[in-house]
């Protein structure tokens, strides 16, 4: 995917504790980077997660799929750009696509799929319309419709 398809980007620096004995970022830490970027994405669209979803809408988003493809490695002190976008909005699910770059080097591609559900029952619930509208209003490339599973 082209970087210009991503409206959102969050920059962070690799910390010493995130590298392994090989001197590269431990693979599981890229999911932490995805999580940081998605929390910043919520802020960028005007949602204070979790309060802005849980307290306001009475539902929450649960991860049902998380994947990563590793193309190259980051090292201590690298500056990383984490690009994220909502690529698909279903009735109760949403798909985020993420890419991590160091300068012009594409390091990691990721996909996270969330299902909106009621916290007490864990049963799926429709995505709140105000949330859907904030996402649609923010994204440069409009999310596709339909189930967020690939």
What DSSP string runs through 23-59? SBB-TTHHHHHHHHHHHHHHHHTT--TTHHHHHHHS-
pLDDT in tens, 43-53: 999 998 877 78
Note the pTM of the prediction, 2 decimals: 0.92
pLDDT in tens, 94-146: 999 999 999 999 999 999 999 999 999 999 999 999 999 999 999 999 999 97
CA 92 – CA 59 distance, rounded (Å)? 11
Q: DSSP code of 132?
A: H
CA 14 – CA 12 distance, rounded (Å)? 7
């Amino acid at each position: 995917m082209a970087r210009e398809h991503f409206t959102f980007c969050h920059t962070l620096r690799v910390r010493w504790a995130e590298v392994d004995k090989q001197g590269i970022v431990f693979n599981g830490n890229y999911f932490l980077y995805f999580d940081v970027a998605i929390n910043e994405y919520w802020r960028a669209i005007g949602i204070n997660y979790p309060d802005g979803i849980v307290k306001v809408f009475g539902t929450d988003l649960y991860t049902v799929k998380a994947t990563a493809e590793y193309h190259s490695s980051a090292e201590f002190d690298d500056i990383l750009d984490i690009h994220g976008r909502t690529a698909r909005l279903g009735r109760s699910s949403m798909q985020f696509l993420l890419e991590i770059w160091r300068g012009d080097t594409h390091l990691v591609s990721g996909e996270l799929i969330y299902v909106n559900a009621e916290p007490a029952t864990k049963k799926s619930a429709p995505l709140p319309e105000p949330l859907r509208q904030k996402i649609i209003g923010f994204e440069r490339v409009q999310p596709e419709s339909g189930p967020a599973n690939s």
